[in-house]
Amino acid sequence: MMKILVVDDERDMEPLFRMRFRKETANSELELLFAFSGEEALATLAGEDRTDIVLVLSDINMPGMTGLELLSKIKKNPPPVPVCMMTAYDNEEYRGRAEALSCDGYVSKPIDFKALKETISSFAVEK
């Protein structure tokens, strides 16, 4: 079973992800973990076996620790966990900063869940 950590301060993302991945979670193909801040995400990663989490999907714009700050902290802490950034504000500055921090992917909101499922599958194959 693949574990994905979704990090977004917008709490309505959890029911949306649960609905869109209902089949995968029911079939025990995927387990979704949720954190609503960068700090909560780091605590989740510290409490889980990092090698169990195949991907972190993090919003860029969050109060407190931003997604880019979270990305930086995750990448400094071995073993490396792939991180895809999500944002409704797709621009070159964010992309450049994310790439400089070794971001593994970039997802624009509103999320194309069909494309996201393909992205998730590619990380599962790489693992």
pLDDT at position 88: 85
What per-residue confidence (pLDDT) applies to 48?
64
Total structural domains within the chain: 1
Query: 9 is in which domain, residue-wise?
Result: 2-111
Q: What is the pLDDT along the chain (127 residues), one digit of tens a residue?
A: 899 999 999 999 999 999 999 999 999 999 999 999 999 999 999 886 666 898 999 999 999 999 999 999 999 988 779 999 998 877 888 889 999 999 999 988 899 999 999 988 888 765 5
Asked whether residue 126 is domain-assigned, the answer is: no
Give the domain CATH number at 47.
3.40.50.2300
Contact indicator for 41, 9 with CB cutoff of 8 Å: no
Domain-embedded: residue 13: yes
Domain-located, residue 39: yes
> What does the alpha-carbon distance between residue 109 and residue 95 come to, in Å, rounded to a whole number?
14
Domain membership flag for residue 119? no
